[in-house]
Amino acid sequence: MQVILLHPRFNRAKSITLGARHITLMIVVFLLAVLLATGLLYFLTARYAVGLPFAGKAAGDAVAGVQDKDKYLKENLAAMAIKLGEMQAQLMRLDALGERVQGLAGVKPEEFNFKEAPGRGGAESSSLYDRRSHDMSMSEFQLALDAMSRDVGFRTDYLNVVETVLMSDRIKSKLLPTNQPVSVNYNSSSFGWRLDPFTGRSAFHEGLDFPASVGTNIVAAAAGVVIAAEYHPQYGNMLDIDHGNDIITRYAHASRLFVKVGDIVQRGQHIADIGTTGRSTGPHLHFEVRIKGVAQDPRKFLNAGTDLAKMATLAGK
């Protein structure tokens, strides 16, 4: 390549001949200059961003965006960790409550084990657009966590109510005179009309007579409070126990009494011994159940107790 140079100071035109080597050298110099300028600009932008308003703003915005996102994630993770801890505590209470309710309801532990997670499964999600599986977002996970927390609270409240009802029923059943007071297989005189053994006339018998030898244990038919422990001309040595709800049981003709007025007795507790005191033809227990002062047939309660015992035995097998 030949370059001709013209200038007023020159007496004549000058020419310069450029070979391939010169052209290659010029291209290399040009590329080096571009790279040097680019590196210098990058260095100035990164290190002296304050001096370049547009670069400083862009870099600041980028850093602030990263910091805000990091802060948002940390705050959400902290909130979810607190919620998760609360739910774990709620689940522990729920498990304990469930086991108590299970015991009160008579459900076998192996039939409903609160210590093991229930099995789950199913087919894969449908290919339809609105049913296609996808990764949960942070907001979706937070909503699911809140919904589960509310559900755990509702179930805890519900089980508390169930436990209260079952406990009330259990207490009431223990206060009903369903436990036979003497361990004998028959009674010598039933509730209702009979011939009086002393007069031979028709008379109404207000209880059951259980014959047994003197000294045989008499136990409380239900838990309650002793309201009478005295000698009665007709009943002999007599005990009255108040079981609440206007229900009273009477134990008559005893040889010995082992409790006194005001004592709290438990169901099945030894309270007296069989005798033949008062208006009696031989050793036996005269047992009465009274509701609001009116004598009831004790067999209705004792038979109910036998049925409940059978049901409990069957449930335990």
What is the mean pLDDT of the segment spanning 136-165?
A: 75
d(CA 121, CA 217): 59
Mean pLDDT of 218-228: 95
Place of tokens 């100071």: 9
CATH number of 192-299: 2.70.70.10
Residues 230-270: pLDDT tens digits?
A: 999 999 999 999 998 899 999 999 999 999 999 999 999 99
Quick check: 2 pLDDT over 80? Answer: no
pLDDT at 18: 61
In degrees, rounded to 5, the angle at the alpha carbon of residue 82 between the alpha carbons of residues 78 and 87 is 145
Cβ of 247: how many Cβ atoms within 10 Å? 20
Give the 3-state secondary structure of residue 8: coil
Is residue 188 classed as helix, strand or coil in its secondary structure? Answer: coil
Q: What is the pTM of this model?
A: 0.52
- Identify the weakest region by mean pLDDT among 182-191, 227-236, 288-297: 182-191
Q: Cα dihedral angle (56, 61, 62, 63), rounded to 10 degrees?
A: 90
Cα distance between residue 111 and residue 286, in whole Å? 44
β-pairing, 236-242 vs 224-232, is antiparallel
pLDDT (0 to 100) of residue 288? 97
Percentage of the residues of the chain whose pLDDT score is greater than 90 = 34
Listed in sequence order, the residues at least 6 apart from 255 whose beta carbon sits closer than 8 Å to its beta carbon are 214, 215, 237, 272, 273, 274, 275, 276, 277, 283
Can you give the pLDDT at residue 14? 62
Question: What is each CA distance from 188 to 26, 65, 304, in whole angstroms?
Answer: 134, 95, 20
Per-residue confidence (pLDDT) for residue 5, from 0 to 100: 57
Q: Are 225 and 262 in contact (CB under 8 A)?
A: yes
User: Higher-confidence residue: 235 or 26?
Assistant: 235
Pairing of strands 192-195, 294-296: unpaired
Mean model confidence pLDDT for the chain:
78
**305-315 tens-digit pLDDT:** 555 454 444 44
Specify the pLDDT at position 317. 45
